[in-house]
Amino acid sequence: MIAILLFMVCAALAVAGAVTLIWAKEPIHSALALVLVMVALAVLYLLLGAPFIAAVQIIVYAGAIMVLFVFVIMLLNAGVEERTNFSKLAIPGVVLAFVLLLEIAHWMFHSAIGRALANGANAPTTEASTYDLSEMLFKQYLFPFEATSILILIAVLGAWVLARREP
């Protein structure tokens, strides 16, 4: 009961944040709306039994990446969103995306796998502990882990090279 209420509130906040991102004229308001979306999604991860991922989402995504976005908007004193003619390809694209969504919904509700998944068969009842997650991360997925650390190093070097003033 409380879980359903919490889900509805967080889903409404997430969709409201996404709509505000589209509707706002100032980029800072879009950034704040995106932070709201991320916090709502973190609560949804908690509901889905993944507390570690919820904490990582807030620490990394909402607390570092979005701060970087807000910094850049502040530093560049980015102007307001201008209204120009949008591209002609957009309307058929949106229609096709909607059709794709309907097809996925049809698969989900009318096939055996889809129905089993949708009803939550063999879902675990306890939350994913940090210990199990880190064991999988460091034993099975060790190579991608080390590769992403090199990726972060490359990103830091790239950002530094791109943004420095020419000596």
Backbone angle region of 86, left / alpha / beta, with phi > 0 → left and psi within -120 to 50 → alpha: beta
Question: Residue from 99, 103, 130, 146 that binds other proteins (CB under 8 A)?
Answer: 130
Residue 112 Cβ, how far from other proteins at the closest point, in Å?
Answer: 14
Task: Give 82 or 167: the residue with its C-beta nearer to other proteins.
Answer: 82
Q: Which of residues 139-158 bind other proteins (CB under 8 A)?
A: 140-141, 144, 148, 151-152, 154-156, 158
Q: Which of residues 28-87 bind other proteins (CB under 8 A)?
A: 28-32, 34-35, 37-38, 41, 44-45, 47-53, 55-76, 78-79, 81-84, 86-87
Residue 153 Cβ, how far from other proteins at the closest point, in Å?
Answer: 9
Residue 86 Cβ, how far from other proteins at the closest point, in Å?
Answer: 5
Residue 72 Cβ, how far from other proteins at the closest point, in Å?
Answer: 5
Per CB under 8 A, 96 contacts other proteins: no
Number of residues that bind other proteins (CB under 8 A): 101
Contact between 145 and 137 under an 8 Å Cβ cutoff? The reply is yes
